[in-house]
Structure 1
Amino acid sequence: MNVLISGAGIGGLALAHWLGRHDIDATVVERAPALRPGGQAIDIRGAARTVVERMGILDAIRAKHTGTHGIMYVDRRGAPVARMSGEDFGDSGGVVAEIEILRDDLVRILHDAAPTAEYLFDDHITALHDGADGITATFHRAPPRTFDAVVGADGLRSGVRALAFRGARQPVRDLGMYVSYFPAHTSLDLAGWEVMYNLPAGNGVGGRVLLLYPVGNDGEVRAMFSWWAPALGHDRRDAAEQKALLAQVFADEGWEIPHLLDQMWRADDFYFSRSAATQLDHWSHGRATLLGDAAFAGSLGMGTSMAVVGAYVLAGELAAAPDPISAFRAYESGMRDYVTRNLKRPPGGDRGFAPASRAGIWMRNQVIRTMTKLPGKGALTGNLQAAANAITLNDYPVARDPMKTP
């Protein structure tokens, strides 16, 4: 069997690893000219820890832990007003998980764990033709090739989904918030705390948030700016326009914001997006299926873990089933309840993240100060600890050592 994977991100690389373990040939096509650098800190939660342990990379991931151990809420002077430790809701249940790693560090570890895969960088799929003997992919650069199956692990706006699910209803649901982040430095001593500073509605938008995520102990941070607003019609490929929009939204605000915005203008690694969720009745069509955000975007803190778990299940079912279509049915059947549970929003929805008024910010902070002491406190975060473990992983027989080429 040979499988084409679109996207050299976390889901695609994890899938390439497991396909190699099952003696299935994997080809990964990636639009970028190399592994994509940068990105925020991400969590490895619940069942995903079992998967990376079975991959043989858990120690490598722990070695790259960012060192963050909780989240601290501050006022406009930077004074702490509330805290949540990473241990308050279980190792997978809090806003900050017990294992956190920068996205680009995890991507490199996963790439090194998939040495048998073929990689086509600086290319992408332009057409798919599903036939009796396989599915033929036409590429922008490489010559057409026929595969037994194609997997779209290519994100929220999946190209594979657009090609393979033509005529299906629009699966992307807008969640109403802009998110942007970039690397920066601060003179603050964060001492391993992720710091959240809330601002009320202003400058023409709703509630606003600055999150500072420490990376190590030398002042390096990931600065994440978020705000509620209707879609503002920005150009998704124009970083200068996006930076100008962010600067406008946070203009004339205090604390660390002016210093960070000054660094933003010089940042090459700059991410800007509008939050959204995917809603699909089925994740597969013919010999094509979807993985990660292409199929189930929109969770709070579980996107990476669901992609890793999904890669494990999908590869195992491709190895066990008589044909790809049967494997896709088993993959979705095994994953659907787990995904549905982890896509549920916490009590109160998302508005508690960025209240629109100072009174709302104050009230949210009071809730944070008391919730860690309440019985049944896990329910206040949507029982994330239980949801992260809400799947029984099959023990699929494998054929290869994870790190050795044939």
Structure 2
Amino acid sequence: MHVLVTGASIAGPAFAFWLNRHGIDVTVVERAPALREGGYCVDIRGVALEVVERMGLRDVLRPLAADTLENVMVDERGRRFGRTPRGFGVIDPDDVEVLRGDLARVLVESTRERVRYRFGDSIAALRQHDRGVDVTFAGGDTATFDLVVGADGVHSQVRALAFGPEREFLRDMGSAMAIFTAPNHLGLHRQQLLFSGLRRIASVKSTHGDRDLMCAVFFAHGDRFDHRDVPGQRRLVADAFAGAGWEFPRLIAAMQRADDFYCDLTCQIRLPTLSRGRVALVGDAGYCPSPLSGQGTSLALVGAYVLAAELARGADLATALRRYDERMLPFVRRNQDIALKLAGGFAPESPFQVRMRRLAMRLLPYVPGSSLLMQVAMRGIREAARDLELPPVSRPIHGSRAGGVTPGAIVTGTSGQV
């Protein structure tokens, strides 16, 4: 079997890792000219921790953990209150919180010697038939594969080509999120500051050995958002946090200069099936749960493992893809539904809600049993993250060495080797 994967972020390299482990030939194509290492902290929890363990990467990732000592609330006057231990996204002590770019680099480096990576290119067209999928690349080459897997994010080109327009599957959750790096002028040391204001929220944490601040801001976007208009996105963020006080003027000025600025809707991708013919989707391309869930990375890692395991069971392709649907979709839906519940009260909608939320956070550290209260509050996320039994790791279905076959020039088309 010869598989083409689009996207070299999290889901794509993770899927390539397992395909190679099972002895399946794989090529990964990525639109960017090189590995993109930006992004905010991501959380690995629940079943995804077992996936990382089976990959042999848990000890590799531990030293890269954000290792945030405390989470602190801050208001528009810079007053700090409501200190709680660990980073906001860490629910259980075993959770791993790392920068998205660090995780992507580890995944690519763990596969680069045995997987073909094709950077600076993308898929322009697909044509399915009984013998495979004819792929035309943006660079002009063509090739034929047994299976094409889209791991190219929320705005997946593969999904658009094989499933239809994005508007049919994207569920806007009413806000947008922007991420960027700024100098650590606050002098934070392994700290995360959270700001909760009227229809806007921000998280600022120290990173890169306390050299930088990693900023994530959420805001109501109205009907003006365009994911292709980066200058327009910067204006939206600046407008949303105008008059927010605290250090926002300085942070917004840093945002205007940041070369790692990223902004998109908080949204979900909801599909009735994760495959169509010989095209399948994994990660955000098929089941983005939105950043509000904190489960996007974990779903991507688990989905990559499950799809590869089903393909390696030796059944025909249609059966393998059906089993992938049956195993993943209930798990995906439960995690997506958690995010929908959180979205309704994520950002305060009135000054009264702002005051009440801040009061609750001021009192929380002094309430007896506050840690137990937080565990109860996070129980839904914890249970959803664990609600799947992983299939066993299959033996390679082809001869392989040291975890996978050495990829050769197997997949050909009118332009020859890929």
TM-score (normalised: structure 1): 0.90
- Which ranges of structure 1 fall in alignment gaps of 5 or more residues? 201-206
Aligned-partner Cα distance in 1 for 2:194–2:302: 29
Mapped pair 1:292 → 2:261: no
Over 3 Å counting, the alpha-carbon distance change for 1:401 and 1:142 in structure 2 is farther
- Pick aligned residue for 1:360 from 353, 372, 377: 353
Query: How far did residue 321 of structure 1 move?
Result: 3.4
Aligned to 2:218: 226
Query: How far did residue 238 of structure 1 move?
Result: 3.5
Q: Which range moves more in the overlay, 379-388 or 257-266? A: 379-388
Q: Which range moves more in the overlay, 310-319 or 388-397? A: 388-397
Mapped pair 1:30 → 2:30: yes
Q: Which range moves more in the overlay, 158-167 or 145-154? A: 158-167
Aligned to 2:414: none
The Cα offsets for residues 90-130 of structure 1, whole Å up to 9 and x where unpaired, read as x6459xx8411111111110001113111121111111111
Mapped pair 1:60 → 2:60: yes
Aligned to 1:392: 389
Aligned to 1:211: 203
The Cα offsets for residues 367-401 of structure 1, whole Å up to 9 and x where unpaired, read as 44448627665442352122211111121223353
Mapped pair 1:329 → 2:322: yes
The Cα offsets for residues 185-229 of structure 1, whole Å up to 9 and x where unpaired, read as 2332433222111222xxxxxx11221022144341111221113
The Cα offsets for residues 142-181 of structure 1, whole Å up to 9 and x where unpaired, read as 5211111111111111111111113897000111101111
Q: Kindly, what percent of the aligned residue pairs are identical? A: 38
Aligned to 2:174: 176
- Pick aligned residue for 2:268 from 257, 261, 277: 277
Over 3 Å counting, the alpha-carbon distance change for 1:356 and 1:48 in structure 2 is same
The Cα offsets for residues 346-372 of structure 1, whole Å up to 9 and x where unpaired, read as 696324332023321222234444486
Could you tell me whether the CA contact under 8 Å between 1:184 and 1:221 is conserved in 2?
yes
Aligned AA (2:233) = Q
- Pick aligned residue for 1:309 from 302, 315, 324: 302
Q: Which range moves more in the overlay, 6-15 or 182-191? A: 182-191
Aligned AA (1:140) = A
Aligned AA (2:232) = E
Query: How far did residue 48 of structure 1 move?
Result: 1.0
Aligned to 2:131: 133
Q: Which range moves more in the overlay, 5-14 or 63-72? A: 63-72
Matches within 5 A, 1:2-401: 2-86=2-86, 92=91, 98-114=95-111, 115-166=113-164, 170-200=168-198, 207-234=199-226, 236-299=227-290, 300-345=293-338, 349-368=342-361, 369-370=363-364, 373=370, 377-381=374-378, 383-399=380-396, 400-401=401-402
Aligned-partner Cα distance in 1 for 2:403–2:71: 35
Aligned-partner Cα distance in 2 for 1:243–1:384: 31
Aligned-partner Cα distance in 2 for 1:55–1:67: 22
Q: Which range moves more in the overlay, 169-178 or 216-225? A: 216-225
Aligned-partner Cα distance in 1 for 2:303–2:341: 28
Could you tell me whether the CA contact under 8 Å between 2:184 and 2:211 is conserved in 1?
yes
Could you tell me whether the CA contact under 8 Å between 1:3 and 1:27 is conserved in 2?
yes
Aligned-partner Cα distance in 1 for 2:336–2:123: 29
Aligned-partner Cα distance in 2 for 1:51–1:140: 33
Aligned AA (2:9) = G
1:26 partner SS: strand
Could you tell me whether the CA contact under 8 Å between 1:67 and 1:192 is conserved in 2?
yes
Over 3 Å counting, the alpha-carbon distance change for 1:171 and 1:238 in structure 2 is closer
Over 3 Å counting, the alpha-carbon distance change for 1:11 and 1:220 in structure 2 is same
1:395 partner SS: coil
- Which ranges of structure 2 fall in alignment gaps of 5 or more residues? 408-418
Q: Which range moves more in the overlay, 172-181 or 238-247? A: 238-247
How many residues are paired up? 396
Aligned-partner Cα distance in 2 for 1:169–1:213: 34
Aligned-partner Cα distance in 2 for 1:333–1:197: 40
Aligned-partner Cα distance in 2 for 1:402–1:281: 34
Aligned-partner Cα distance in 2 for 1:302–1:390: 12
Over 3 Å counting, the alpha-carbon distance change for 1:383 and 1:158 in structure 2 is same
Aligned to 1:204: none
Over 3 Å counting, the alpha-carbon distance change for 1:87 and 1:252 in structure 2 is closer
Aligned-partner Cα distance in 1 for 2:160–2:36: 22
Q: Which has the higher helix share?
A: 2
Could you tell me whether the CA contact under 8 Å between 2:175 and 2:266 is conserved in 1?
yes
Q: Which range moves more in the overlay, 338-347 or 53-62? A: 338-347
Over 3 Å counting, the alpha-carbon distance change for 1:36 and 1:82 in structure 2 is same
The Cα offsets for residues 46-102 of structure 1, whole Å up to 9 and x where unpaired, read as 11111111111111111111222443211223222324434999x6459xx841111
Could you tell me whether the CA contact under 8 Å between 2:225 and 2:233 is conserved in 1?
no
2:53 partner SS: helix
Over 3 Å counting, the alpha-carbon distance change for 1:88 and 1:257 in structure 2 is closer
CA RMSD of aligned residues (A): 2.5
